[in-house]
Amino acid sequence: MKIAQIAPPWLAVPPKGYGGIEWVVALLADGLAERGHEVTLFATGDSVTKAKLEYVYEHAPGSGAILSPWSDTAHTLRAFRDADAFDVVHVHTPFSQVVAGAACAKPVVHTVHGEFNEASRAIYSQIPDAMTYVAISEAQRAFMPELAYGGVVYNGIDPARYPLRETKEDFLLFLGRTAPMKGLRRAVETARLTGDRLVIAVKAANALERNELESVSELFPNNIEVLGEISHEEKADLLGRAKAVLFPIDWPEPFGLVMTEANACGTPVIATPRGSVPEVVQEGENGWIVPVEGYAEAAAEKLQLLDQIDPVACRARVLECFSQDAMVTGYEKIYQDIV
């Protein structure tokens, strides 16, 4: 098939640092190309891909340009200029991509990477069957089931970039933004209760997140190591060495890549039952699910059971359900069905 993949226009594919959607697009485009499809990736000129690369911007504008209507519109105009040349067009952001996709005569697939909220519902409710939607978890799809879904495809990772490590070190790990809904405070409370060393690698990108980090820092135990945004290599190293990853979110996150990244390294996750968590974490196999309220106490109990978790089993679940190969297969089937 001739397939167009239209990435967001703000960061390179794959991203140099932060960028979850960009990593998904990178792995998908490469995987499809490796399977013999004619893939054209519309991204920025500094992207690296096995597909044919087309772009408006030679260099990624960067995170400061995210949501810019100008770069978004210019990027979409270029991508849809020759839409008739493709069997299917796959868009990964809303805004102008969804508008153009709704008017496109060719089959269009749209992966909803973000949460459904009042703003997004105002768009999607007007075009519920104008294209084929893909949810990234059953939990996400349940928030707006009336859309014309082609299916659910979980975000995949490249397991080769997350080495398995069966021997763990004696520390807990928290990765993510410092927004209150991400649960940094609960992770810190857990470490204070258990006395475990805690390593946090966090990003405070706005005033709300900076305020939360400052507030939670008053609770930091002495045996905490605070890191900022880290490279992939540093992240994979920490994920592999940690004895457990704390994932105490309190919002319906459509899909938490941290969980699958940890499991790929053989590390269990102790998470709350929000969003996609029950679809990723299997009790006692690759982690545990505990309540939001009383998270610290419940997590402390599960930390006594870590020797029951087999790191090889953690990784095996990722290879089966959450790998690049599994993701590419899922999208390939959807493309074939609609074409």
Q: d(Cα 36, Cα 241) in Å, to the nearest integer?
A: 37
Provide φ and ψ at 226, rounded to 5°: -105, 120
Task: Report the pLDDT value the prediction gives residue 119, as an integer from 0 to 100.
Answer: 92
Which tens digits make up the pLDDT trace of 144-172?
A: 999 999 999 999 999 999 999 999 999 99
Q: d(Cα 265, Cα 165) in Å, to the nearest integer?
A: 6
Could you tell me the two tokens for 210? Answer: 């900076």
Residue range 159-320 forms a domain whose CATH class is alpha beta
Task: Report the pLDDT value the prediction gives residue 324, as an integer from 0 to 100.
Answer: 97
Ordered strands of the 52-55 beta sheet = 52-55, 38-43, 2-6, 88-91, 108-112, 132-135, 149-152
Cα 13 to its chain centre, rounded Å, is 14
Exposure of 98 by Cβ count < 10 A (0-12 exposed, 13-18 middle, 19+ buried)? Answer: buried
Closest CA to 16 of 201, 177, 231: 231
Which tens digits make up the pLDDT trace of 224-247?
A: 999 988 888 999 999 999 999 999
pLDDT tier at 20 (50, 70, 90 boundaries)? confident
* Over residues 299-327, mean pLDDT: 97
Q: Which residues contact 256 (CB under 8 A, 6 or more apart)?
A: 247, 249, 271, 275, 276, 277, 280
Provide φ and ψ at 112, rounded to 5°: -85, 100
- Strand 108-112 and strand 38-43: the pairing is unpaired
Beta bridge partners of 226: 200
Q: d(Cα 149, Cα 131) in Å, to the nearest integer?
A: 9
Q: What 3-state class would DSSP assign to 326?
A: helix
Task: Report the pLDDT value the prediction gives residue 205, as an integer from 0 to 100.
Answer: 79
Q: How far apart are the first and last CA of the chain?
A: 9
pLDDT > 90? residue 17: no
Task: Report the pLDDT value the prediction gives residue 64, as an integer from 0 to 100.
Answer: 72
Amino acid at residue number 141: R
Question: In this structure, are residues 160 and 219 in contact, taking their beta carbons and an 8 Å threshold?
Answer: no
Could you tell me the two tokens for 271? Answer: 């998470």
Task: Report the pLDDT value the prediction gives residue 101, as an integer from 0 to 100.
Answer: 96
Greatest Cα pair distance, the chain, in angstroms, is 61
Could you tell me the two tokens for 217? Answer: 């820092």
Task: Report the pLDDT value the prediction gives residue 62, as an integer from 0 to 100.
Answer: 74
Question: In this structure, are residues 23 and 14 in contact, taking their beta carbons and an 8 Å threshold?
Answer: yes
Task: Report the pLDDT value the prediction gives residue 61, as an integer from 0 to 100.
Answer: 82
Among the CATH numbers 2.40.40.20, 3.40.50.720, 3.40.980.10, 3.40.50.2000, which is that of 2-154+324-338?
A: 3.40.50.2000
* Global pTM value: 0.93
Fold identical between 2-154+324-338 and 159-320?
yes
Kindly state the DSSP code that residue 160 receives in the 8-state scheme.
G
Which tens digits make up the pLDDT trace of 21-70?
A: 999 999 999 999 999 999 999 999 999 999 999 999 999 887 777 788 99
Indicate the domain borders of the chain.
2-154+324-338, 159-320
Q: d(Cα 28, Cα 50) in Å, to the nearest integer?
A: 10
Task: Report the pLDDT value the prediction gives residue 68, as an integer from 0 to 100.
Answer: 85
pLDDT > 90? residue 282: yes
